[in-house]
Chain A
Amino acid sequence: MKRMLLTCLLLIAVVATGGCQGKDDTYHTGPRDNDPAARTDVKLALNWFPEAEHGGFYAAQLNGYFAEEGLNVQIIPGGPGSPVIQQVARGTIEFGVATADQIPLGRAQGANVVATMAAIDQSPRCFLVHEESGINSLEELQDVTLAMNSGRAFSEYLKKHVPLKNVRVVPYDGSIAAFLRDKKFAQQAYEFSEPFLAKQEGANVRVLPIRAIGYNPYASLLFTSDKFKNDHPELVAKMTRACRKGWQAYLSEPAKTNEHLQSLNPELTPGVLEFGVQAIVPLTTVDQEDFGQMKLDRWKKLVEQLVDVGLIDQDAVKPEDCFFEAS
């Protein structure tokens, strides 16, 4: 009971501090000049520690694209369990970075958030197996221990669409240590990170992307709340434009940004960012005119898949509400 009371008090404190930051009337649109005082302050919350999947947002900051649009953007790094969707939906933070499936999940709970740009078009979510296991596709995934985050959309999708014969599902602890030890071990991963680390440790790793079995949500999405989008459409357009430009710059000239990322996240293994960019480029449409734009069909399919695996109720979320093309 004491604990519950403490939780309540803590929540009051959080609400109180959160409440003080509400500043609906301060979003005057800043002029396009280099006077920092005249720029509009906004915050961008990342869903993880700074790494390659956030490179474009940092590039926009380093190259001055935010400033060109009259924005003064504070990028807030995330970590395990950072409540990015909730904070953006509440309005404590104006913009966030997420994977596409988080958007409908949030909306189904009343956290009305909307994506405005997708930097990564093809899902980088994958599973790692050892080549020695003889497993060549996700359908063949069997007789292994599989470390993954239960309850996440991609893992529920995998459980529903692959027989997983004689597969023991264990928690994913964020490291590849158990994988390296055991040839009969598989784990969730991102194509731009863990394969590099595993190869560096001498493992013969095979990468099995989940999009191969039809689950393909956009990644590195920029999103905001419905309310913010409706109240400040111009500002959302500016932010989207700057981030898009940042991503184009990052994917062609990543060196300077990577150096910055490395300084923000000093525990990153040297080389992982360079590898990350090379892995991300083919997953994007960076060389195309419509880079960053999203398609209704993809969102429809994603929402259907989430209903299918039982994470949201039928008709709880409209796919067309999940994204917005800022002009």
Chain B
Amino acid sequence: MKEDRFSWKTIVLPLLVLVLTIALWQAIIQVSGLEPYILPGPRDVAQTMWQRGGSLLLYSLRTGMVAVSGFLISVVLGVGVSLMFSQSSIIRQSGYPYAIFFQTVPIVAVAPLVIAIFGYGVLSVIVVTTMISLFPIITATTTGLITVDQGLLDLFRVNKATRWQILWKLQFPGAIRYLLTGMKTSAGLAVVGAIVGEFFAGHSSGHQGLGYFILVSQNQINTSSLFAGTICSTLLGVVVFGTISLLGRLLLWRWAGEG
């Protein structure tokens, strides 16, 4: 399936949904009569975001840096592991169950271990982010690498291509599209990972990010701040996702000859 081309619709349609969501949000408040400490109105949240704009931007930038770092590491690690998996079904079968570990491990349980090894602070948060965003890259890329057109593979073999040539010229270009799908899933998870990581290991003096802000808002029963923080993390996810999509188009165009 070909991806939708970038056009005015790419911008306008989501904006339309945004307007509808805000209208729905306001309507829920009007109809349900929910108290602001349960569900604050869009106006209250916008006001909080405006008033705390400077610090929210700073927190978002810090969390964004950590999310992107963890994400990049998981791409490198994930592609590396997938390349290994693609070389032998024995390696793949022995290693795959352990790759699933990264998807299922409750991060709460391993956080103390991560902190014990990497200490409190940014490094531990990056490790947690990597753990959370690694799995989609591995499964998607591995699938891409082993899903090869049999005809093309025969052609390579008839021409006595080396294992390396088959990997580099046939399997890898074919896997790029899968890798990108995995990266898109991972991009969102990386932001979640960074925030969860900050809950446990981050926010040591001077390095506070959105996770810290969200936790403090929750502790202080300040629901509009909580919403403001959550919206910022969503926006951060959108920005990271958008960047990956753009890079993806570029990569596909250069490597796989499509755009």
Residues of A within 8 A of B (CB): 1, 3-5, 7-8, 11-12, 15, 19, 81, 85-86, 89-90, 102, 105-106, 109-111, 145, 149-152, 168-171, 173, 175, 177-178, 181, 311
Q: Does B80 contact A (CB under 8 A)?
A: no
Number of B residues near A (Cβ < 8 Å) is: 43
A60 to B218, CA, bound (A): 31
Q: Mark B187-225, 1 if CB is under 8 A from A, else 0.
A: 000000000001111111100000010011111111100
A149: chain B residues at CB < 8 Å are 215, 219
Stretch in B30-38, B57-65, B82-90 touching the partner: B30-38
A151 to B32, CA, bound (A): 30
Q: Which residues in window 72-113 of B have CB below 8 A to A?
A: 111-112
A81: chain B residues at CB < 8 Å are 218
Q: Which residues in window 119-148 of B have CB below 8 A to A?
A: 120-121
A168: chain B residues at CB < 8 Å are 120, 204-205
Q: Does B257 contact A (CB under 8 A)?
A: no
A151 to B200, CA, bound (A): 15
B223: chain A residues at CB < 8 Å are 109
Return the chain A residue nearest B40 by Cβ: A109
A1-B234, A4-B231 in contact; A109/B24 too (CB < 8 A)?
A: no
> Given A3-B237, A15-B28, A171-B204, 10 other A-B contacts at CB below 8 A?
A1-B14, A1-B238, A4-B234, A5-B17, A8-B21, A19-B32, A109-B221, A149-B215, A151-B215, A169-B205
A177: chain B residues at CB < 8 Å are 112, 116
Whether A89 and B17, one on each chain, are in contact in the complex, defined by CB atoms closer than 8 angstroms, is no
Can you report 17 residue pairs joining A to B where beta carbons are below 8 Å apart?
A: A1-B14, A1-B238, A7-B230, A8-B21, A86-B37, A86-B221, A89-B35, A90-B35, A105-B221, A109-B222, A111-B37, A145-B120, A152-B219, A152-B220, A168-B204, A170-B203, A178-B115
Whether A15 and B221, one on each chain, are in contact in the complex, defined by CB atoms closer than 8 angstroms, is no
B234: chain A residues at CB < 8 Å are 1, 3-4
Q: Does B247 contact A (CB under 8 A)?
A: no
Whether B219 and A178, one on each chain, are in contact in the complex, defined by CB atoms closer than 8 angstroms, is no
Whether B34 and A110, one on each chain, are in contact in the complex, defined by CB atoms closer than 8 angstroms, is no
Most buried by B among A85, A106, A150: A150
Q: Mark B161-184, 1 if CB is under 8 A from A, else 0.
A: 000000000000000000000000
Whether A4 and B215, one on each chain, are in contact in the complex, defined by CB atoms closer than 8 angstroms, is no
Whether B221 and A106, one on each chain, are in contact in the complex, defined by CB atoms closer than 8 angstroms, is yes
Q: Does B18 contact A (CB under 8 A)?
A: yes
Q: Does B39 contact A (CB under 8 A)?
A: yes
Residues of B within 8 A of A (CB): 14, 17-18, 21, 24-25, 28, 32, 34-39, 111-112, 115-116, 120-121, 198-205, 212, 215-223, 230-231, 234, 237-238
A1-B238, A170-B120 in contact; A151/B219 too (CB < 8 A)?
A: yes
A35 CB to nearest chain B CB (Å): 36
A5: chain B residues at CB < 8 Å are 17, 21
Return the chain B residue nearest A149 by Cβ: B219
B204 CB to nearest chain A CB (Å): 5
Return the chain A residue nearest B36 by Cβ: A110
B190 CB to nearest chain A CB (Å): 14
B17: chain A residues at CB < 8 Å are 1, 5
A31 to B215, CA, bound (A): 45
A138 to B222, CA, bound (A): 29
A4-B231, A151-B216, A311-B220 in contact; A171/B202 too (CB < 8 A)?
A: yes
Whether A169 and B204, one on each chain, are in contact in the complex, defined by CB atoms closer than 8 angstroms, is yes
Whether A109 and B37, one on each chain, are in contact in the complex, defined by CB atoms closer than 8 angstroms, is yes
